[in-house]
Amino acid sequence: MHTEQLALIKHAPSAGLDTQDDETLARQARDDPQAFAELYSRFLDRVYRFILIRTGSVQDAQDLTSQTFLAALESIDKYGGRGSFGGWLFGIARHKVADHYRRRRIDVPLDDVEWMHHPDPSPEEIADTRLQLDRVSRALQSLDGQQAEALALRVFGELCASEVGQVMGKTENAVKMLVHRGLRKLQERLEYTLEVLP
């Protein structure tokens, strides 16, 4: 499939598909672009937020989100229904982020943040959001790699612990421990950052 096909799918109407579960839609998406369009609309914001918090760059998050959905569309017939569709999709997103860092090997600062919930935020809101996301992104990147990834998948990707385990190849209990420890360390680092600021 090509990027143009993905662009067409983004705008395809969902003809009563919004009541079906993700796994059923994934099976239908092999032959029905509208089924994939419904999955795209369900997961777009979550995948984007996960990638944004992992990369700290709006541009990279947009590019990698597109790459994730294009790869999912091209390999939808390989989704076998073992585990959740969300876990499979976030596995693709995780690999796209890993490939991105293997190619770049640098930290990219968070330059721009698109305010997702309000189309016209005030300059103060934009500045505050940039500062908050920059702090969280930097603090998250300073955590142990597995803790950061588990936390990003759980909080920003909105996956349940078992789905995070599916993506990371870990047990549900191991994921819960990673998230718990990661949250504690993230909170400590954010509190320290706030104390250091004037």
Cα first-last separation, the chain: 52
Is there a domain that residue 25 lies in? yes
Dump pLDDT digits (tens) for 163-194. Answer: 888 888 999 999 899 888 888 887 887 776 55
Tell me, yes or no, if the pTM score tops 0.85: no
Is there a domain that residue 146 lies in? yes
Dump pLDDT digits (tens) for 70-111. Answer: 999 999 988 877 788 999 999 999 999 989 988 875 444 444
Query: CB atoms < 10 A from the CB of 59, how many?
Result: 11
Give the percent of the chain with pLDDT over 70: 72
What CATH number did the domain enclosing 151 receive? 1.10.1740.10
Is the Cβ–Cβ distance between 187 and 193 less than 8 Å? no
- Furthest C-alpha separation in the chain: 57
Is there a domain that residue 115 lies in? no
Is there a domain that residue 116 lies in? no
**Structural domains of the chain, count:** 1
Q: Which of 55-69, 104-118, 154-168 has the lowest mean pLDDT?
A: 104-118
